[in-house]
Amino acid sequence: MKKQILVAFTILSLVVMVMVTRVHAQSSHYFRVIIPFEFEMSGKTLPAGEYLVRRVSPDRDEWLALTSVNGRTRQTVVTHNVRSGTSGADSKLVFRRYGDRYFLAQIWESGDSNGHELLRSRRETDLQRLTARNSAKPEVMVVSGRQ
């Protein structure tokens, strides 16, 4: 039994290493981020965990993918560009928080003054309306990434 668990763990580790290597080889535009809470992205709920954020294609920088390091979760999204007055030193994800629900809002790569903004989902739009009726605004949460 112990031998089977060790073999399974070794195979899983190799698969994760190959996936990380493939992601790095596909694009130099990527970073890692640990998201400590469950969040929503493009209408899907993703679990807390460590993710790789990368461009899907070097030619189409509006297409981004978040892939969990364990390989179990992957979500691709089309974004639109937003500009900042300065280029940020750190890569980061920006979330909007309504109560205990988090929605991915923006993705910023280090050294780039152009960020990526996601469209609000129907669920977030509904929460935004409800919150506005109560004269409240969503809290903005920033999670820093690393290369």
Residues 5-14: tens digit of each pLDDT: 555 555 555 5
Which pLDDT belongs to residue 95?
Answer: 98
> CA 10, 33, 61, 120 torsion: positive or negative?
positive
| Mean pLDDT in residue range 20-44 | 76
> CA 25, 82, 106, 90 torsion: positive or negative?
positive
For residue 77, pLDDT over 60 is answered with yes
Q: Kindly report the pTM of this predicted structure.
A: 0.75
Dist CA 103 CA 140 (whole Å): 10
| Mean pLDDT in residue range 25-39 | 80
For residue 21, pLDDT over 80 is answered with no
- Work out the percent of the chain whose per-residue pLDDT is above 90: 56
- Work out the percent of the chain whose per-residue pLDDT is above 70: 80
Mean pLDDT, the chain, as a whole number? Answer: 83
Instruction: Work out the burial of residue 145: count CB atoms within 10 Å of its CB; fewer than 13 is exposed, 13-18 middle, 19 or more buried.
Output: buried
For residue 26, pLDDT over 70 is answered with no
Query: In DSSP terms, which residues pair with 57 in a beta bridge?
Result: 60
pLDDT band at 107 (very low <50, low <70, confident <90, very high): very high
